[in-house]
Structure 1
Amino acid sequence: MLASRSAHVRAAQLHPQLAAHYAAVEQQIGHRFRLDVSMAEIVAQAAESAAPPVTDWNP
């Protein structure tokens, strides 16, 4: 794992085009970004919420 969910959501808010690209690749290859969450879920959460605090940088 690269970072916590809250850190990924914040990154998706800061770089939405890159996050969307990762979500498209995830769908194309048929594998989730992380075992516990897909990049599509991260993108959706980033779009629906204000900038969440990063509660933990570690996964």
Structure 2
Amino acid sequence: MGADDKMRNMAEKAKGKAKEAAGEATDNPDVEAEGKAEETKADVKQTGEKIKDVFKKD
């Protein structure tokens, strides 16, 4: 996984966590759900990058 991709995924996950926290703090379930979705999206991207790295090694 490239360092750029890793940093981008970490930033996206942090953004999702912040949005989720804002949704909880303001009692806004829509914003909270958007934040959780962004976190999940970042996790999936990171997993995909790791899988690509495994197959590149061979």
What TM-score, normalized to structure 2? 0.40
Q: Which has the higher helix share?
A: 2
Structure scoring higher RCO (CA < 8 A, sep ≥ 6) equals: 1
Q: State the structure with more CA Rg.
A: 2
